[in-house]
């Protein structure tokens, strides 16, 4: 599944809140999100207008590993199936 290309840091933080992540601190343009689910986990999210695709992929990979999900399953859970007919 292709990752969305226009995700902001704020949007990602909102979507991760559905998995129990909360913003615990912010220094400059980077926020620390923490969840107590499954033993606790923290990630750093850049609060930029558009997160680079490689950065987004790395964040999602860490979140998926923490929850024991596949990356595709996590992307579908956070962003929907995204079936708009790839070209």
Domain boundaries, the chain: 9-79
Give the Å distances, CA to CA, from 68 to 15, 71, 75, 77: 18, 9, 13, 13
SS3 34: strand
- Cα dihedral 30/11/71/85 (nearest 10): -140
Q: Give the separation between CA 69 and CA 9, rounded to whole angstroms.
A: 22
pTM of the complete model:
0.86
Q: What is the pLDDT of residues 32-66, one digit of tens each?
A: 999 998 889 999 999 999 999 999 999 999 999 99
What CATH architecture applies to the domain 9-79? 2-Layer Sandwich (3.30)
Q: What is the pLDDT of residues 4-32, one digit of tens each?
A: 889 999 999 999 999 999 999 999 999 99
């Amino acid at each position: 599944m292709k990752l969305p290309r226009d995700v902001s840091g704020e949007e990602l933080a909102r979507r991760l809140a559905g998995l129990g992540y909360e913003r615990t601190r912010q220094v400059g343009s980077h926020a620390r999100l923490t969840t107590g689910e499954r033993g606790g986990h923290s990630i750093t999210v850049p609060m930029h207008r558009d997160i680079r695709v490689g950065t987004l992929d790395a964040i999602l990979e860490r979140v998926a590993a923490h929850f024991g999900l596949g990356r595709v399953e996590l992307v579908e859970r956070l962003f929907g199936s995204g079936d708009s007919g790839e070209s």
